Chains A and B, each alone.
Chain A
Amino acid sequence: MADPTTTEDLGPVTTLATPIRLDFEFTPGVAQSRFLRGLEQGKFMGQRCPTCGKVYVPSRGSCPTDGVPTTEDVALANVGTVTTYCVVNVPFAGQSIEIPYICAQVLLDGANISFMGLIQEIPADQIRMGMRVEAVWVEPDQLTPSLESVRYFRPNGEPDADYETYKEYL
């Protein structure tokens, strides 16, 4: 029979679930707006550094190496090269894509920095470094100033890029 004057014999409460929900507002600013407006038009917009000449995508307003404003807009190709990748096979809370999926670093033609992209329309075990890919966009009437305008990348059928052409971007 439990002692009514104490709860000690009931033992510790080990864990309590305390869900937290947060919705954030985000102000993209001038440079990133150029990129987002590009997505709305179905194209990738970057910016060139006037000092080192390197092209950043997304547009970011300044060069992190030279510290100068990047004012020249550059429209980039819809195609690029997979520099490296991993195949994600681990489930986690909030995951929005069915596993396994290919998470690749895609270097768009004309850009000097890669970004992360989903590769589809190829079995996960057939992805390769150097594979040439193209962006697949949502229908024109569905385009928004958001990365959701890009559904994924897929192989475009070109021969693989030579390792020498992208090894500096690894």
Chain B
Amino acid sequence: MAERCAVIGVGQTHHKSKRNDVSIAGLVREAAKMALADADLTWTDIDAVVIGKAPDMFEGNMMPELYLAPALGAVGKPMFRVHTAGSVGGSTALVAAHLISSGIHKRVLTVAYEKQSDSDAMWALSVPQPFAAPLLAGAGGYFAPHIRAYMRRSGAPEYIGRMVAVKDRRNAMRNPYAHLHIADIDMKMVEESMMLWDPLRYLEACPSSDGAAAMVLSAEDAVSGHFPPAWVHGMAMRSEPTMFAGRDQVNPRAGRDCSADVYAQAGITDPRRQIDVAEVYVPFSWYEPMWLENLGFCDLGDGWKLTESGATAFDGDIPWNTSGGVLSSNPIGASGMLRFLEVAMQVRGQAGEHQIEGARVALGQAYGGGSQFFSMWVVGSDKP
């Protein structure tokens, strides 16, 4: 990275199943205004806007970024749209960060959103394809067989998924912006919830949320704001084809390559010891142990043992998803950015009730599509 890049402002909406009080423009503006206020800036201080969301088919709005430009103060400024399926919130932040690190802009506003109450994502993810039987039932239907493969491969006991479902919802109780606040969540409640895509139960799956996330990124000589900046220590994206012979869908190579790249940039050789807190895209409970292995926090087959030991819990040595994660809020296009945003909040010391004391180095990860798009960043409280 030629120029240092800092996160100087963060903002997010209260995520809910229906934000009928605002249009899409109102939703993104709410998050953006909060990020600007945190950075102590106004719209005129921003050089460019980078926006992302999940596929247009979800809400049925073609290229919504065009009509959102005025709401985001982008008239007369460069505005970019990013598309990488569920990982898009992460990739969008990275495209914005590239505009800083390349020296092109001083301050960039990046925004991501989804208004699932306006959309029918389940339908949009299940449309008939000419070369596949019409069997796919949303993202859960796609990922459940791969979760079963992980369970078979690792020998993990079936209660591991329920542990993650409970842990992330308990973390969400600390986060006023989280969609789900289930005060009495426990293993029994998860076990008794409806089986949707066997082996996945209702409470092991993410909700459908309306919400937006925004960040202001700046160059070193343009830092402002009410909290110390989060410095970007590494950023990487990778992709791989959805289908090829020998593809490992449980432990995708693109994810391994992406983490190797971001760790090399950030000087991380032992993620479990060197990373203080991580926000990882876990839309279905079992993706925690799967990504623990994919991200190199443990050996292959041992991810579930880390979850079981409590290492990833709020008081564990590697807290994962302190915000409550995707399992507690899922405005799809924003979900990746919320991971990146939460870790920035952690190293800036502004996470309130979900603050991990002394967090100095943190990993944000997002994935999307059929586990084929990955985006990650490592942020720190010290300059790289």
Write the residues of chain A forming the contact surface with B, with a CB cutoff of 8 angstroms. 12, 14-15, 18, 20, 26, 28, 32, 35, 52, 54-56, 58, 63-65, 83-90, 92-97, 100-101, 103-105, 112-113, 115-118, 124, 129, 146-147, 150, 163, 167-168, 170
Contacts and interface: CB of A to CB of B under 8 A. Distances in A.
Given A20-B60, A86-B141, A112-B245, A94 B127 contact: yes
Given A65-B246, A84-B149, A116 B132 contact: yes
Nearest to B244: A64
A85 B199 CA distance: 9
B241 interface: yes
B38 interface: no
A104 B145 CA distance: 8
A56 B128 CA distance: 21
A95 B137 contact: yes
Given A55-B245, A96-B128, 17 more contacts: A54-B245, A54-B246, A65-B245, A83-B149, A84-B146, A86-B141, A86-B145, A86-B197, A94-B123, A95-B137, A97-B134, A113-B244, A113-B247, A115-B132, A117-B133, A147-B132, A167-B153
Given A15-B118, A97-B135, A90 B241 contact: no
5 contacts: A20-B60, A65-B244, A86-B200, A113-B247, A118-B133
A94 B196 contact: no
Most buried by A among B122, B195, B198: B198
Contacts, number: 121
Nearest to B150: A170
A103 B153 contact: no
B373 to A, nearest CB: 16
B221 interface: no
B244 A96 contact: no
Interface of B: 20-21, 60, 117-118, 120, 122-123, 126-128, 130-138, 140-141, 144-146, 148-149, 152-153, 194-200, 241, 243-250
A94 B133 contact: no
A113 B135 contact: no
A92 B122 contact: yes
A81 B131 CA distance: 20
Contacts of A101: 135
B244 A116 contact: no
Nearest to B21: A12
A164 to B, nearest CB: 12
